[in-house]
Structure 1
Amino acid sequence: MQGDLTADVPGPSGVYTRRLAQDRHYCTPDGSPLVLSGRSLMLFRSVGWHMSSDAVLDDESKPIAESILDVAVASAIALHDIKGLGRFRNSKAGSIYIVRPKMHGPEEVALSADLFSEVENMLDLASGTLKMGLMDEERRTSVNLAACLYAARERVFFINTGFLDRTGDEIHTDMKAGAVVRKGDMKQARWMAAYEQRNVAIGLACGLRDRAQIGKGMWAMPDRMADMLATKGAQLDAGASTAWVPSPTAATLHALHYHMTDVRHMQVLLSRVQPLPVAELLALPLEEDVTRWSEAEIAAELDTNLQGILGYVVRWVDMGIGCSKVPDLNGVGLMEDRATLRIASQHIGNWLVHGIVTSGQVEKAMHRMAAIVDAQNADVPGYRPLLDDMDGPAYRAAQELVFEGASQPCGYTEEILHRYRRIAKTRDCGSRAGVLAA
């Protein structure tokens, strides 16, 4: 917000300093000046309502909702921009842009809107300064998207689908209904097609065209840029005016798609298309005949999920890394975060509930996958091998995420992750204290 952030980055010809880019000045054909921002518009992504923080305690000495802390502190920081105290301006309109994830229906959206109003009052900001990005990634929001938009109608600048969290919530909601399809088949499920189409159709029907962005999900493979360039343009054809990408390089390449497709024209055409029936959105992604899965297919599905869980959890719990590029079973780097962890743990939890796999199978596969994860991280500084510490917090967290997944509220992973991260930090502090004492 102040514009003076720099970072020294090692490069092939030595260390160079990365800093915020200056604005770009051009001369138009008629001779008038044109100034384009050298920087992307900065958004702030808060946590969901389900998370709490003991950084601040209420009158009863209980942790407060972390969302309150997030929005209050982010808005206070953004005052540098609102008051013009920095070298650059982020918002040309004098707004603060806050993306709100994991909201369940219009009541929680309204609660967020009320929070925004309270923070505006606290900081003496004009009503409507805080703009809301609404993540459509929980079933109750998907089913009631128009009502959610209405609940924040004075603030919405952005809506976006999120395949991984939305699928995690779908599996958890359907947990007792039957065995869900294999994870790779989820993208072809009826509910998924309806989810993506309805998000655009309802957004357009509610007047977002030319007023707010309609987004689609993340490209998760940072090293597969050619594949991204070949396929991600389809999201623009489906009406998306923005989409998540995992790096500045990916963003630069994805920008080419907006030169190939006139998104506004596509949205005009799509505005004539009605949202798919809500019954399609509620079609359960259950496997009709689980006997068609071979033992090898079931084992492969289990291995893929467990390797992803362990690869992410060991970094989150032991090293405090919240989102990173984690190699999959084939060595392809995938962007992993709590959403990917949610779907993988819920998927195994569902298959345990319906007897597709047994706890013994899971334990054996987890041990085998731990060996693979250890080999993949052998050269990572500070890495603590899972197989050397199977009673340690990382391995135990992975076990709990899988075996207790069906009982976690909405299938969320944060309670388990935070608890074991605290154990890991306490243990590390104890080890350092012991060394100092010696």
Structure 2
Amino acid sequence: MSEKQNQYVTAGGLKIGKCLYDLVSEEIAPGTGIEPEYFWQSLANIVTDYGDKNQRLLDKRDQLQARIDDWHSSDHAKHYSVAENRKFLSDIGYLVTEGPAFKVEVENVDREISDVSAPQLVVPVDNARYALNAANARWGSLYDALYTSGVAEPEDVPAPPPAQYDADRGARVIQWARDFLDRVVPLKSGSHAQASSYIVAPAGRRTLELKVSLQNGEITSLKSPGQFAGFLGLMYDPSEILLYNNGLFFRLIINRDSMIGEIDSAGISDIAMEAAVTTIQDFEDAVSTVDAEDKTVAYRNWLYLMKGTLTAEFEKNGKIVKRSLNPDMNFTNPYGLPTVVSARSMMLVRHVGIHMYSDAVTTLTGELIPEGFLDAMVISLCAIHNLVGEGAKSFPNSRCGNVYVVKPKLHGPEEVAATVQLFSHVEDVLNLNRNTLKIGIMDEERRTTANLKESIREARNRVIFINTGFLDRTGDEIHTMMSLGPSITKDEMKKATGYILTKPGMLR
């Protein structure tokens, strides 16, 4: 213990792991307008103001579970009644009174969350290579996806691709992709499969449109001209065409000098699709950060993501590869004006749950502090570099100026309210606008599900999603009801329409 104590630095009434203290002092705080001593004193104040409340919330979890266990072990369970159980849960405060209807009043949310329905990745933030891969997963190759998956292949052809490039398989990929274009961005006449070139031409005094030359000499255009969103290169010889459908963009990449483009009638070498438009950089269950050293690695990666400077080097096929964040793309839109298209997945960040405590920072007497308090302060301080610093200029994440926090394993409205209160305090001490810290509530606990309306009400000015973690949610259901007996198997759960427990006499 004495050796570990020597690795701590005292500041603001706290003992901080030296590596974490140095990270904040030397790398995170500079450029934010927040002095390190003030930062640690602010964290100490949060621990003082909210530490006991955090523990009371955790104690209440145990108290409620103990009463539920007792009730399930009593004569009540022999003649299980849903109505009786609901009354019991209401009496002990597990179920709260549902209030009147209300509106979610969150404002200023990026379109990747408010408007776009698309995949979302979760990645361990302590692994720089994985974190970068996820952040750069905004765009993916349709050709690569079709070729490797075998989706374009007949049913009697094996899905895995051969070791060497198969030209016939490639031709089927291209045909599938042309059929896809005909479905989602159809031409006024003819097919994309008949295209010999794509050009951009004036459509009026101030607008541009996409023109498509067909192999028979006909020139046509998009059936819905509004699906043309922009281009790169020269109007008469574009290198990329930006198209739009159902809230998502995709790009026709034209390169007649490439292996695929030189044999393509229109010179298309690939079709890039918007894929994972959001990514959760995870500090919770995708990582194992058990001490100051681990947290420092994770916080540093998040810091450099926010600054836009994170890199990773690794060996691939005998060569050293260096990975970094993809820069944004600058297109010309249909009005002839420059428009920026994001090349990166918009990043959310997941804190730990309120039940986690850390020795990365302790009180002067050695008591562990809630790790979620530390996450809220350090992660938000890092994010300032992307809100107002260099990262905001070169590698902006939220173009609306938000930090999107995913909060896991909250038990009901009280714990949501406590998180909202914490976020408000963090905003105040870090000079952030109110509601900069938006919240995604993970619906992973039965008490949250049973009180979901009131949980959302508590966060109505911040909430950007409710996301059910099905494995955690099922586990909490089993844990809550464990005194009633063993649960049915996973396969049976998938088919079940009622209760999932097997105690004799209970409904299934």
Shorter-chain TM-score: which interval?
0.3 to 0.5
Normalized per residue, the structure richer in strand is: 2
TM-score, length of structure 1 as denominator length:
0.43
Specify the structure having the higher radius of gyration (Cα).
2
TM-score, length of structure 2 as denominator length:
0.37
